[in-house]
């Protein structure tokens, strides 16, 4: 490891820690949903819609982050994101009615969505281009670690406090990190650039772009969408103990840390298109099995379901890099994520929750599996432009 990379390793690890808290703040409600439903007397559909409200805020924030960073520096934007997200979690923990909860969830999505574009801009400006791969790989370990840690953190803290106390602990840590970033954070001392609507119009004319929005949405459905509703499904539909469900889900994400590191090699070895086809074929099939499995087979399905899904993202970003010129490619990445999160992380959990209210939770999971499996056909239709 070169001296130039080693010099920034501490700052990279700190940003990864901020990303971890940012991600945990958005997904920890999943492991807490069984307790929240009982405490607030909610149905599965209403509980599942929580993630839709977060996704709406996240969509708006990601899509409009360029307007914020054009007026603030990236460093200040990261600080605002962390402090606001933490304070909003505190408001959420104190909320006692649905109107307040939903408003807090939208604000949480708005705050959290400001982080990622500024973090990526900060990292790529701080680290030499030769080390971007290593730097971004360190940063991207945060969400995969968050998937694994969220149910374990929730289950551990629930031994001493309520779901509200869990949110307050995460809120306090997030605000503290934001304050540290404001006083001692490195990099990002420059403003962002506003979106170019001319480029956006050209991008919208690309059929490949719309296919990739759909595929990213299905990929997020297979990771975040299933993840957020899985604790509720295992407890309410399959009769599993909440502690056992959260522990199992946390363990199921250990393999994704390894697969996330291997996914770049898989894409280089088999090609982006073939990797995407394989991901949707495997993940869709296992998700369908998850909707029907019971007993030991259910445990196996939970462990296998997220394993291959994470391999989509390096391949998906590789396909996006083939769209249009350099300006269009950057915009393609920044505009694909908001729509995909809204679809996979917001709409799908809500739909699964409403199936749960009808006493057909497994049918909702099965429908998600069928949709993910349909991604195989969309991937087969990809026609990527050749680049010299």
**388, pLDDT greater than 50:** no
Asked if residues 188 and 75 have their Cβ atoms less than 8 Å apart, the reply is: yes
Q: State the average pLDDT for the chain.
A: 87
**159, pLDDT greater than 70:** yes
pLDDT of amino acid 384: 61
Tally of CB atoms within 10 A around 239: 9
pLDDT category, 193, cuts 50, 70, 90? low
Specify the range with the lowest mean pLDDT, choosing from 66-70, 240-244, 323-327: 323-327
* Pair of tokens at residue 310: 């994470």
SS3 95: coil
pLDDT of amino acid 219: 94
Contact partners, residue 312, CB within 8 Å, separation at least 6: 215, 219, 222, 275, 276, 279, 280
Specify the range with the lowest mean pLDDT, choosing from 144-148, 335-339, 353-357, 358-362: 335-339
How many Å apart are CA 327 and CA 288, to the nearest integer?
39
Percent helix, strand and coil across the chain, each to the nearest 5: 85, 0, 15
Average pLDDT (260-279) is 82
Q: Which of 15, 243, 263 is nearest to 135 (CA)?
A: 15
**3, pLDDT greater than 70:** no
Beta bridge partners of 191: 73
* Pair of tokens at residue 239: 């009769």
How many Å apart are CA 279 and CA 312, to the nearest integer?
6
List pLDDT tens digits, range 326-346: 555 556 666 788 888 889 989
Asked if residues 345 and 220 have their Cβ atoms less than 8 Å apart, the reply is: yes
Average pLDDT (214-221) is 93
Specify the range with the lowest mean pLDDT, choosing from 67-76, 151-160, 255-264, 370-379: 255-264
pLDDT of amino acid 1: 44
Torsion angles phi and psi, residue 358, rounded to 5: -85, 5
Cα 19–chain centre separation: 11
Global pTM reads: 0.83
132 HSE (CA, 13 A, CB side) = 8
pLDDT of amino acid 124: 77
**267, pLDDT greater than 70:** yes
List pLDDT tens digits, range 277-308: 999 999 999 999 999 999 999 999 999 999 88
Specify the range with the lowest mean pLDDT, choosing from 71-85, 100-114, 269-283, 330-344: 330-344
pLDDT of amino acid 153: 93
* Pair of tokens at residue 156: 């551990």
SS3 205: coil
pLDDT of amino acid 2: 52
List pLDDT tens digits, range 6-22: 788 888 899 999 999 99
Average pLDDT (262-281) is 84
pLDDT of amino acid 174: 96
pLDDT of amino acid 330: 54
* Pair of tokens at residue 362: 């497994």
Domains of the chain and CATH, by start: 1-194 (1.20.1250.20), 197-388 (1.20.1250.20)
């Amino acid at each position: 490891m070169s001296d130039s990379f080693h010099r920034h390793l501490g700052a990279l690890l700190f940003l990864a820690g901020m990303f971890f808290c940012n991600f945990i703040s958005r997904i920890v409600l999943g492991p807490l949903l069984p307790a929240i439903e009982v405490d607030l007397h909610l149905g599965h559909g209403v509980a599942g819609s929580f993630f839709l409200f977060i996704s709406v805020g996240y969509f708006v924030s990601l899509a409009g982050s360029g307007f914020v960073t054009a007026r603030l520096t990236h460093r200040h934007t990261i600080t605002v994101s962390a402090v606001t997200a933490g304070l909003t979690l505190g408001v959420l923990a104190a909320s006692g009615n649905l109107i307040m909860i939903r408003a807090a969830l939208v604000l949480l999505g708005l705050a959290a969505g400001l982080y990622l574009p500024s973090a990526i801009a900060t990292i790529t400006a701080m680290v030499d281009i030769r080390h971007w791969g290593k730097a971004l790989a360190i940063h991207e370990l945060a969400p995969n670690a968050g998937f694994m840690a969220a149910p374990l953190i929730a289950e551990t803290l629930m031994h001493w406090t309520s779901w509200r106390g869990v949110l307050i602990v995460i809120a306090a840590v997030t605000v503290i990190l934001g304050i540290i970033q404001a006083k001692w954070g490195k990099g990002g001392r420059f403003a962002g650039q506003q979106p170019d609507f001319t480029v956006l119009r050209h991008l919208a004319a690309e059929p490949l772009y719309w296919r990739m929005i759909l595929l990213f949405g299905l990929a997020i459905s297979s990771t975040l969408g299933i993840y957020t509703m899985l604790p509720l499904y295992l407890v309410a539909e399959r009769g599993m103990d909440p502690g056992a469900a959260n522990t199992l889900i946390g363990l199921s994400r250990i393999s994704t840390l390894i697969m996330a590191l291997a996914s770049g090699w898989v894409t280089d070895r088999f090609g982006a298109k073939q990797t995407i086809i394989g991901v949707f074929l495997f993940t869709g099939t296992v998700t369908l099995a998850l909707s029907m499995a019971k007993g030991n087979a259910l445990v196996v399905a939970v462990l296998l379901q997220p394993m291959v899904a994470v391999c989509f993202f390096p391949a998906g970003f590789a396909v996006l890099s083939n769209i249009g010129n350099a300006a269009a490619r950057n915009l393609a990445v920044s505009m694909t994520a908001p729509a995909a999160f809204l679809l996979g992380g917001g709409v799908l959990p809500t739909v699964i929750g409403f199936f749960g209210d009808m006493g057909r939770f497994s049918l909702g999971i099965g429908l998600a599996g069928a949709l993910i499996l349909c991604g195989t056909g969309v991937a087969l239709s990809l026609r990527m432009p050749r680049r010299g």
